[in-house]
Structures are given as structure tokens and as C-alpha cells.
């Protein structure tokens, strides 16, 4: 009989989100390097119809949107992705402890270095993952 590990697949929920900021290219590269069978994507639409990779419908938990667009929240206090254009979302930085994550990024995601901590379009992330798969065979 097969062991549970042999029968099950490892799904990297939001990438290696226990180590690096969720849904970033760096987190996806680390999860791939750690041997994940699947890299799970959450997607949300922007106001101008782009599909971004983000777990939440709102941006304040994972980005600096409060600092960049302080007056753009709704009455409930949230900054919803659907209220922003892709060009505005590209201005945001993903919240993370950059010092703690730097060594992991350098080791696991050289292709993502430069902008490893940002929100990506779904198309960008799929292209990145295809590159990881091609590079690793």
C-alpha cells in the first residue's frame, strides 16, 4: 500500500507563504524549489478588468495601499482591489520583512529578484511558473 505522501499532492497555498510574502513571485519560486506539486493561485479583478494574484478582495492586509492611497478606502475601511486600476496597484509594495526574506529570495528566486515583492497579473505569474518548470525540467 502507498504511503499518504505517495498518494497525496503537495499544494503550495499562496506559494511558500510561511517564509515569504504570499502570492509573490519569490514565494512561488521558493515553493517550487521546495518541491511543491502545485502552486495555488487566488485571483481578484481590478477596476479596469485585469486579473491579479491576490488572496483577499482588499489590499490593506498585504500592501502599503493605506500609505499610497490613504483616502481610497470604502465606508467599511477596506481598500478593495476592484476600486483600483492595474496602474495604481503596480505602485504598491507588498508588506514584508525584507531583511528576513532577502536570503531566501537570493537563494530560491534569482529570476524574481528586482521586484520579488509585488502583486502580479495572473498572466505574469503563469509565465513565471512556466519558466520555473522549463528550467527544472
Q: Of the candidates 137, 134, 131, 101, which has an alpha carbon nearest to the alpha carbon of residue 116?
A: 101
CA distance 100 to 102: 6
Largest pairwise CA distance in the chain? 59
Query: SS3 for 37?
Result: coil
Rg, Å, the chain Cα set: 16
Structural contact between residues 94 and 24, judged by C-beta atoms closer than 8 angstroms: yes
CB-based contact 14:22 (threshold 8 Å): yes
Residues recognised as catalytic: 13, 55
Amino acid at each position: 500500500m502507498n504511503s499518504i505522501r505517495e498518494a497525496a499532492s503537495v499544494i503550495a497555498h499562496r506559494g511558500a507563504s510561511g517564509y515569504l510574502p504570499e502570492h509573490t513571485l519569490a514565494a512561488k519560486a521558493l515553493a517550487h524549489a521546495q518541491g511543491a506539486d502545485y502552486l495555488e493561485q487566488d485571483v481578484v479583478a481590478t477596476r479596469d478588468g485585469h486579473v491579479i494574484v491576490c488572496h483577499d478582495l482588499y489590499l490593506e492586509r498585504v500592501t502599503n495601499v493605506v500609505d499610497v492611497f490613504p483616502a481610497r478606502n470604502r465606508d467599511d475601511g477596506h481598500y478593495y482591489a476592484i476600486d483600483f486600476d492595474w496602474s495604481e496597484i503596480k505602485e504598491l509594495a507588498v508588506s514584508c520583512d525584507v531583511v528576513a526574506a532577502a536570503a531566501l529570495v537570493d537563494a530560491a528566486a534569482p529570476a524574481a529578484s528586482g521586484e520579488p515583492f509585488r502583486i502580479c497579473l495572473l498572466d505574469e505569474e503563469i509565465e513565471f511558473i512556466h519558466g520555473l518548470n522549463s528550467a527544472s525540467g
